[in-house]
A and B are shown apart, each in its own frame.
Chain A
Amino acid sequence: QKEVEQDPGPLSVPEGAIVSLNCTYSNSAFQYFMWYRQYSRKGPELLMYTYSSGNKEDGRFTAQVDKSSKYISLFIRDSQPSDSATYLCATVRGSSNTGKLIFGQGTTLQVKP
């Protein structure tokens, strides 16, 4: 079983739609959760990170962690064509300062004008 699982998609939505991207993880000890966005032919860029359970909002983006079900989500409101990218969820195995980033496979999102 992979430590972090993510549906690779692709996911195609019309402009203005609400997008929901999801990951599941296997180890209840994971505490830190990140979402990265990767445009074509670019490196991943950190979008948001959260600690433990709950929600975190940043503009049109909301990250949500449900530790009871080992489920993490990224919601994008009023999606734009510029949001078209691959979104990777990640967590840290081990402590925050010595651990290892574990990534999901990435979900490819296309927002059509």
Chain B
Amino acid sequence: SAVISQKPSRDICQRGTSLTIQCQVDSQVTMMFWYRQQPGQSLTLIATANQGSEATYESGFVIDKFPISRPNLTFSTLTVSNMSPEDSSIYLCSVDPRGVLRETQYFGPGTRLLVL
């Protein structure tokens, strides 16, 4: 398993500003993932972040809006840029500690974002 922490746990932001969310894992992992969980909606993958390479974004998500950094094997950040109320959501990072089995991903506690 893996222990994952996220900062901040919650925030209230004004539209047009940006927020950077941090994800820290207690062990080295190859792949980290960022998800969005909107009220009443499924968890949706935003992007996959590998250390030392550009993040891979899913359809509907772009780097200009959600830039991601992955400076080492235990840490990643997701920035939500130029925020609007539609960005209000829970943002979660997850890891695949075995590196080969997607079915055993572990999730952080999430960051609850409200954009006014």
Chain A contacts to B: CB under 8 angstroms: 2, 4, 8, 32-34, 36, 41-46, 49, 51, 88, 90, 92, 96-106
Chain B contacts to A: CB under 8 angstroms: 4, 40-45, 58, 92, 94, 99-110, 112
Tally inter-chain residue pairs, CB-CB below 8 A: 62
Residues of A within 8 A of B4 (CB): 43
When A and B form their complex, which 5 residue pairs have the shortest distance between CB atoms, in order from nearest? A43-B107, A103-B43, A49-B103, A97-B100, A103-B42
Known A96-B101, A96-B102; contact A45-B42, beta-carbon cutoff 8 A: no
Q: Smallest distance from the beta carbon of A90 to chain B beta carbons, Å?
A: 8
**Whole-angstrom distance between the alpha carbons of A102 and B35 in the complex?**
11
A42→B40 contact, CB < 8 A? no
A92→B42 contact, CB < 8 A? no
Q: Smallest distance from the beta carbon of A10 to chain B beta carbons, Å?
A: 12
Residues of A within 8 A of B94 (CB): 43
Sample (27) of A-B pairs whose CB atoms are under 8 Å apart: A32-B102, A32-B103, A33-B103, A41-B112, A42-B110, A43-B4, A43-B94, A43-B108, A43-B109, A43-B110, A44-B107, A46-B105, A46-B106, A49-B103, A49-B104, A88-B43, A96-B102, A96-B103, A97-B99, A97-B100, A99-B102, A101-B43, A103-B43, A103-B44, A104-B42, A105-B40, A105-B42
